[in-house]
Each structure stands twice: as structure tokens, then as C-alpha cells.
Chains A and B, each alone.
Chain A
């Protein structure tokens, strides 16, 4: 056999291509591992997240990890320190079916004050002002009067004067004898609720 007729064999792989093949093989393995891990994580995490979202709240996590403990006073309180809350209504009562209530929000222990200016056209009827289920004064008023920032905090602490719904209070104008025809009673009412941010309401868990 001459040298010319000798069969040709493929050239031995170069070192570079061998390294490339090895990396390609490893990459595929890594890709399969990463994809499997991702799928398994998603499969486990989805129901876990759905279940935990019913129980775990931001407040609960924050209570444990104390993330906002140092931040909340500095930022939120600075923003809100001047923001006491006010609720006002100008009651004009000329018939027995006029709206005579105003709702306001105050959590337990917050300072609450009430200012009222009461005037009438025609004879002044007997008027009582109720906070939730309590008259603020024992005797009804029978002439024009003004209250300026009358403190309601201690009254609200009494078991008799608690709110109908938690933290949701009712201010009610009571005219026991009704309003005479031709009389128009005007009651300008302002409720101030102080320092809400010092006692933030607790986050409610979904029911």
C-alpha cells in the first residue's frame, strides 16, 4: 500500500475545543439544575405565599424584625406632628327630620375636644348634645351658648360613653321637644382629635 492510499483519520481534537465541549456540558447541567430549582421554588412558594398572606401582616413582621422602629418616629412623626384631625358640621335644624348626627374617628385614649356655637332664629329649643350614648351636660340648654375646645377625653373613657363601633364616635344633637314652626336652630360643631400618630391604630388582620 502506498502512502497515498492510506486511510485518513480525523485530526485529534484540539485542546481548546475539548475545553469548550466540557464547558458546554457543564453549562447544560447547570442550566437544568437552575431551572429545576426555580420550578421547585415556585411550586413550593406559591401556596406558601398564598397561605402566609392571610396571616402575616406588615405590622407582624415589623414587630418581629423592628425594621421601622428607628425610621417611623423620625419620618412619619415629623411629617404628621402638625396634623391633628378635625371634623366639623354646621347643623341647621328647622324640622324634626333634619340630620342631627356627625361621626368622627378617635382611637382609645386620644385627646378629643369639642367646640360649639349654638344660635337660633325664633325661640331657642331645649337642646342637649350627646357623645355616643351620653349627654355631655346633665341639663339641656335653653338659650344660645358657646363651647370652646371643651375636653371630651375623660367622658369618652367612661363605659357608658364608649362608641357604637370601635373608634367610631357619634356626636348627636338632641331636641327632645322638637323644633317649633318658624324656628331655625344653628349649631356649628368642631371636633378636634389630637396626636393620632402617637397611637397608630393596629393593622387589622383580614377576616
Chain B
């Protein structure tokens, strides 16, 4: 049994170790940086885009696409492109699950402007929450959630821990958010299919300079997408599916615009 566990450990260490060197962040605007690179995930090379946002210098919030984009129009696309177009965000990334491709029906907690849009889904296994409070960002499990303290919150999962690197999961296009030691928001989006253990190894073990404190897997696959406003002149400015329907999005705004 010990030999099997040792062999599994060696295998995971050998094949999940990212090959990235030091990060070279490019500043898109004050408090918003971007990094592109690739890491190794079980022998596969995974390209990624990583954004780091300082909430002290930018506004981070969760957008309820149905009420904020639709505004009475159930025929809207409810996509990240519409989130950016209609709310004037600097960037938009997909957040929680939608139960349908016809209407943005949130799966789990969605809280915007201090108001609960949909309640917590307590049946969801190992789910986590991003809570945007007035002074800080929190990624937590259900036991640590205090909705009354959140201005915005969204539920998804699973939570990604350091130990997730030794688990098993399927490969998919991923959107992952994390909070670092300095309370900055990290947004990781993969351009190739990746596993959660591979991402955990990249975030925690192979990139200690990121100082990740907690991480949460957001909706992946066909919904995973990131859109950056053209004025920030980011390359690439679109990753994944930015036209698909999303129930909720995480958007970043300049403090002036808000």
C-alpha cells in the first residue's frame, strides 16, 4: 500500500509540475496586471492567461446577467460580451453555473448589491463562495460564508486546496479565481483543457511567488471565457467562449466609472 501511494506521489509530482519560470507581469492599468504562459499538467502543456487585480485600485463585482443585462429582455444573449458592452467593465470572466442554455438560471448562491438573487445550494458537494465585501475578497466554504457581510457573492466549486494536487479529475477548459496574500484577485483561465490537480500544483506548489491563499474553480468547459476591454490593449483580449450564455460574471471596473 505504501509503495502504491509513493508511486502515485512520484507520478503526480513528475507530471504536474509546471515549467513556468518567474512571472513577468504586464500592467494593463494601475492595479491590473496580466501574465501569459504555460504549465505542465500530467505531461500535457497547458497555455493560460493569468490576471491579477488589486481591489483597492479597481472595483470588483459579480454581475447578475439576467437582471443587469436582460433588463426585461429575455431574448438577450447574456454573454460576457454583453456584460462588457452594457455595464462598461474593463474585463469580464464567467462565474457561476447556469442551469439552462436558454435563460441564465443561476445554480447556487448569487448575491448582488447586497441582495440575494438565488439562495445557497446546500446539496452541492465541496462548493465554495467568492464573497466581495467592501474592504476585502474572501473565498470560503459554506461554514465560513457570511452573506450579510458580502456586497456580492457567487457559489461554485470545488474549492482548490494545496492537497487537490494529489487528487484525480478530468480535463476541461478551466476558469479559476484565487486570492493572494495581499488580498488581490487572481483570475486564471486556461486555453487548453486542464485538470484541477494540475492547476492546484501550478497555483500552490510551482508558483510560490503568487502567494495564493485560497482558490475556487468556476464554471468551466463551454462556458469558460475571459474578455478584456479593447482600451487596455491586452493580447489576447478574448480567451475561451465570450459569446456563450453565463448566469453570472465577475467584472472589474475602474473606480472612476463606478
Query: Is residue B155 within 8 Å, beta carbon to beta carbon, of the partner chain?
Result: no
Contact A100 B74 (CB under 8 A): yes
For residue B72, which residues in chain A have a CB less than 8 angstroms away from its CB?
A: 96, 178
**Interface presence of B244 (CB below 8 A):** yes
Task: Please tell me if the beta carbons of B241 and A134 are within 8 angstroms of each other in the complex.
Answer: yes
User: Mask for A155-195, Cβ within 8 A of B = 1, else 0?
Assistant: 00001111010000010111111110000000000000000
Q: How far is the CA of A20 from the CA of B182 in the complex (A)?
A: 104
A41 at the interface (CB under 8 A from B): no
The answer to whether residues A159 and B222 also contact, given A133-B241, A133-B245 and a CB cut-off of 8 A, is yes
Indicate whether B243 reaches chain A with its CB closer than 8 angstroms. Answer: yes
B67 smallest CB distance to A (angstroms)? 14
In chain B, positions 37-58 with a C-beta closer than 8 Å to chain A are none
Contacts of B61 on A, CB cut-off 8 Å? none
Query: Cα distance A170–B222 when bound, in Å?
Result: 14
Asked if B221 CB lies within 8 Å of chain A CBs, one says: yes
| B-facing residues in A68-111 (Cβ within 8 Å) | 93, 96-98, 100-101
Residue B82 interfacial (CB < 8 Å): yes
Q: How large is the interface on A (under 10, 10 to 19, 20 to 34, 35 or more residues)?
A: 20 to 34
Residues on B with beta carbons closer than 8 Å to the beta carbon of A101: 102
Chain B binding site: helix, strand, loop or mixed by DSSP?
A: loop
| Interface flag for B156 (CB, 8 Å) | no
Could you tell me if A133 and B222 are in contact, using CB atoms closer than 8 angstroms? yes
> Which residues on A sit within 8 Å (CB–CB) of B244?
133-134, 160
Q: Which residues of A lie under 8 Å from residue B243 when comparing CB positions?
A: 133-135
List, in ascending order, chain A residues with CB within 8 A of B100's CB. Answer: 164
Chain B's nearest CB lies how many Å from the CB of A136?
10
Contact mask for chain B residues 57-77; partner A; CB cutoff 8 A; 1 contact, 0 none: 000000000000000111111
> A96, B222: Cβ atoms under 8 Å?
no
Residue of A nearest to B77 (CB): A174
Question: Are B75 and A175 neighbours in the complex by a CB distance under 8 Å?
Answer: yes
Chain B contact residues, CB within 8 Å of chain A? 72-77, 82, 100-102, 173, 193, 221-223, 240-241, 243-245
Q: Can you name 6 A-B residue pairings with CB atoms under 8 Å?
A: A98-B75, A101-B102, A133-B241, A134-B244, A170-B102, A176-B77
The 10 A-B residue pairs with the shortest CB-CB distance in the complex, in nearest-first order: A133-B244, A175-B75, A178-B73, A96-B73, A101-B102, A164-B101, A160-B241, A174-B77, A170-B101, A133-B222
- Residues of chain A touching chain B, judged by Cβ–Cβ distance below 8 Å, are 93, 96-98, 100-101, 128, 130, 132-135, 159-162, 164, 170, 172-179
